[in-house]
Amino acid sequence: MRLLIIGAMDGQIGAASQIAMARGAKVSIAEDVDQGMEVLRGQGADLVMIDVRRDVHRLIECLESERIVLPVIACGIASDASAAVRAIKAGAKEYIPLPPDAELIAAVLAAVTDENHAIIYKDPRMIQTMKLAEQVAGSHASILVTGESGTGKELMARFIHNKSPRAKGRFVAVNCAAIPENLLESELFGHEKGAFTGAVARRIGKFEEATGGTLLLDEISEMDIRLQAKLLRAIQEKEIDRVGGGQPVKIDVRIVATSNRNLEEYVRQGGFREDLYYRLNVVNLILPSLRERPLDIAVLADHFGRKYAEINGVPARPITPEARQMLVRHSWRGNVRELENTMHRAVLLANGNEIGPEAILLTGAPLGGQQDPVVAQVAQVAQSVMGGNTSGLVGKTVAAVERDLIIDTLSHCLGNRTHAANILGISIRTLRNKLKQYSEEGVPVPPPAGGEPAY
C-alpha cells in the first residue's frame, strides 16, 4: 500500500514511518499540507497520516474540493486529548497516539488495505471459471468480466492482477457507475491546472496512476458513449490526453473491465461502442450466479459467519441444518453480496449456540417476481425488530416506511452511500435515485461522506 505522511520527520513521526515501511508500506513524505497535496496529485496514495500540528482541517477541505477520496489518520502525542478531538472533528477517520505502537499501526494499515480478497468456492461450475481465469491471468490481454451484480467481479479482477506479471504494480479501480458523468473523464485521464473550475493544480488520472499495473473499469457499460471514444483511443494508442492538456502522455496498463449487462446486446441497442467492446473482450470471463453454483452457498455462508463473528466480537456458531436448507433454497437475486448481508444479520440476531432459521432473514421476491428490494427489506426489518408484529407500522404507507428506513440507515452510516446500500441490500444506483427523489420532495437527506457524490 502507498502511505503519505505529512509532518516533520524528526522524532515520533519518523518512527511511525519506519514502522509502516517495515510492514510493507511504500512511504512518501511531505512537510506540510501543500506539499502533501502535490504528492497526491502527482502519484496518489492509499492512506494519509498527518501530524496534528499540521492543519488537518485544511487538508480535509483540499481533498474534498479536488475530489480525492482516501482515509486520513491523525497522529499526535498521546496526552494531547484536545488535539485528537479537533482532528476527528476536522474529518480524520482515526487518531494514533505517539510514541507509535507497531501493532496499532499494523492494524490501521491492514484495515485500510483490506487484503482479504480470497475467492471462496468448491462448486464445479466455479472451479471451471477459476481455471480459465488462472490460465489467462499471465497474459497481457484485456479481460472482460461479466456477471450479475454481487457475483464478485471486482474480486475476480484482483485475482487476475495478483496472478499476472504486473502483480507488483498497482491495482487501481474506477467505478464508472458511481462517478458523475461530468467528472469521470478527469478521474480517468487527469487534468491540467485551470482546465475547469476547481482545477487548482495538475492532477494525474487513474490511467497514469495504474501505469505498470492493472486498471479496473468497474461497470464500464455505465460510461457515456462519448467518453467511450476517448477510452478506445487510450487503449489503442497506449497514451492519454489530460483534460486541458496539449501533450499526450504515454501509459502502460492492463485493462480489466466488468459489466452486469449483456454487452453484446447493449452494443446492438446503441448504448456501447462495438469497436470498444471487441477491444475489451479479448477474453470474457463469465461469473456464474450463486443459483448456478449451489455447492458454494453453504461454504460461503460458513465463511461469512466466521468473518462477522470475529468482526462483532461474538463466538463463531454453526448453522443448523434447517437454516442451511433455507439458504440453499433461496434464489439469491443479489448473489454473494446478498448472502454476505444475510449472514451478517444472522450473526447479530442468532440466539444460543447455533444460527437457526429464526436468524435467517431472506430478502427479495422469488425469481420472476417484481417486488422492490427495498420494500422487501422493510418487511424483513419489521419482522425482526417487532417480532413479526407490524402493528406499529399501521397508518404508514410502504413508501414512507421505505423512506424512513433508507434515511435512518444512511444516518447510521454517517452519510456513506456505499455502506448504506450494502446494509440495505440494494445497488448504489438505486439508493442514489431514491435520495434524489427524497431531496426533490423536500426531505432532508444526510450529506455524503468522504467526497462521494450525493446522487
Which CATH number fits the domain that encloses residue 268?
3.40.50.300
Residues 17 and 150 in one domain: no
**Three-state DSSP class for residue 217:** strand
Instruction: Confirm whether 138 is domain-assigned.
Output: yes
Residues 144 and 182 in one domain: yes
Closest CA to 159 of 216, 74, 83, 94: 216
**pLDDT higher than threshold 80 for residue 386:** no
Question: How confident is the model over 23-52, as pLDDT tens digits?
Answer: 778 889 999 999 999 999 888 888 899 998
Burial (CB < 10 A; 0-12, 13-18, 19+), residue 99, is: exposed
Overall residue count recorded for the chain in this entry: 455
Residue 382's pLDDT band, with cuts at 50, 70 and 90, is very low
Domain with 395, as residue range(s), is 369-455
C-alpha neighbours within 13 Å on the C-beta side of residue 390: 14
Burial (CB < 10 A; 0-12, 13-18, 19+), residue 106, is: middle
Residue 387's pLDDT band, with cuts at 50, 70 and 90, is very low
Cα radius of gyration (the chain): 23
- Say if residues 191 and 233 touch (Cβ distance below 8 Å): no
Mean pLDDT of 370-390: 46
Write the single-letter amino acid at 409: T
**pLDDT higher than threshold 80 for residue 284:** yes
Residues 217 and 231 in one domain: yes
Residues 72 and 185 in one domain: no
Instruction: Confirm whether 108 is domain-assigned.
Output: yes
String of DSSP letters for 428-448: HHHHHHHHHHHHHTT---PPP
Mean pLDDT of 173-179: 88
Residues 141 and 82 in one domain: no
Residues 227 and 83 in one domain: no
CA distance 250 to 246: 13
86, 184, 191, 229, 404 from 242: Cα distances, Å: 37, 12, 5, 15, 43
Residues 143 and 247 in one domain: yes
Q: Comparing 336 with 14, which gets the higher pLDDT?
A: 336
Instruction: Confirm whether 118 is domain-assigned.
Output: no
**pLDDT higher than threshold 70 for residue 222:** yes
295, 418, 446 from 209: Cα distances, Å: 39, 23, 32
Mean pLDDT of 216-243: 94
39, 48, 192, 209 from 68: Cα distances, Å: 12, 11, 15, 13
Total count of domains within the chain:
4
Instruction: Confirm whether 389 is domain-assigned.
Output: yes
Cis preceding-peptide flag for 448 (omega within 30 of 0): no
Instruction: Confirm whether 449 is domain-assigned.
Output: yes
- Residues above pLDDT 70, as percent of the chain: 89
Instruction: Confirm whether 119 is domain-assigned.
Output: no
135, 191, 192, 242, 244 from 247: Cα distances, Å: 38, 12, 11, 8, 10
Residues 51 and 107 in one domain: yes
- Residues above pLDDT 90, as percent of the chain: 47
Give residue 366's pLDDT. Answer: 42
45, 155, 219, 226 from 187: Cα distances, Å: 15, 22, 15, 15
Give residue 65's pLDDT. Answer: 80
Residues 70 and 26 in one domain: yes
Residue 365's pLDDT band, with cuts at 50, 70 and 90, is very low
Neighbours of 265 (CB within 10 A): 10
**Three-state DSSP class for residue 10:** coil
Q: Which grid coordinates belong to 49?
A: 497520516
Instruction: Confirm whether 92 is domain-assigned.
Output: yes
Instruction: Confirm whether 82 is domain-assigned.
Output: yes
Mean pLDDT of 303-319: 90
Residue 185's pLDDT band, with cuts at 50, 70 and 90, is very high
Residues 179 and 321 in one domain: no
Neighbours of 318 (CB within 10 A): 12
Output the pTM of the full model: 0.65
Residues 71 and 151 in one domain: no
Mean pLDDT of 142-166: 94
